Structure formats: structure tokens, C-alpha cells
């Protein structure tokens, strides 16, 4: 297992990469997943089928 400060460094690099990619993609990758978008709509509008 990595020392705690090494984990923190990894998360810092990962967050920076995620920010760059989200700018290129125009938002988070999960927002582009059609199945998740439909599931979120069903949950918020009360439809469970």
C-alpha cells in the first residue's frame, strides 16, 4: 500500500486530468451515457418502468 502522501499526489494528478478532459468533452463523461440519462429521468419524474 502506498504511503498517504503518495495517494494524495495520485488524486491531485487524477483531478487535474479529469478537469482537462471535462473541458474538452464539454462536461463529465457520465453525462454522455444515454442509459444513465434515461434512468435519472425516470427517477425524477416518478416513472419506475
| Secondary element (H or E) of residue 37 | helix 34-45
- Per-residue CA distances from 26 to 11, 13, 23, 47 (Å): 22, 20, 5, 29
In the chain, where the domains are located: 4-45
The pLDDT-based confidence of 38 (bands split at 50, 70, 90) is low
The pLDDT of residue 24 is 96
Task: Give 22's pLDDT tier (boundaries 50, 70, 90).
Answer: very high
**What residue has cell string 427517477?**
43
Average pLDDT over residues 26-37: 83
Asked if the model's pLDDT at residue 18 lies above 90, the reply is yes
Quote the pTM value: 0.53
The Cα 42–Cα 30 span in angstroms is 17
Residue 18, all three cell numbers: 479529469
Amino acid at each position: 500500500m502506498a504511503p498517504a502522501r503518495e495517494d494524495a499526489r495520485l488524486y491531485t494528478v487524477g483531478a487535474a486530468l479529469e478537469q482537462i478532459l471535462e473541458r474538452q468533452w464539454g462536461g463529465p463523461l457520465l453525462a454522455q451515457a444515454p442509459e444513465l440519462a434515461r434512468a435519472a429521468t425516470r427517477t425524477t419524474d416518478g416513472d419506475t418502468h
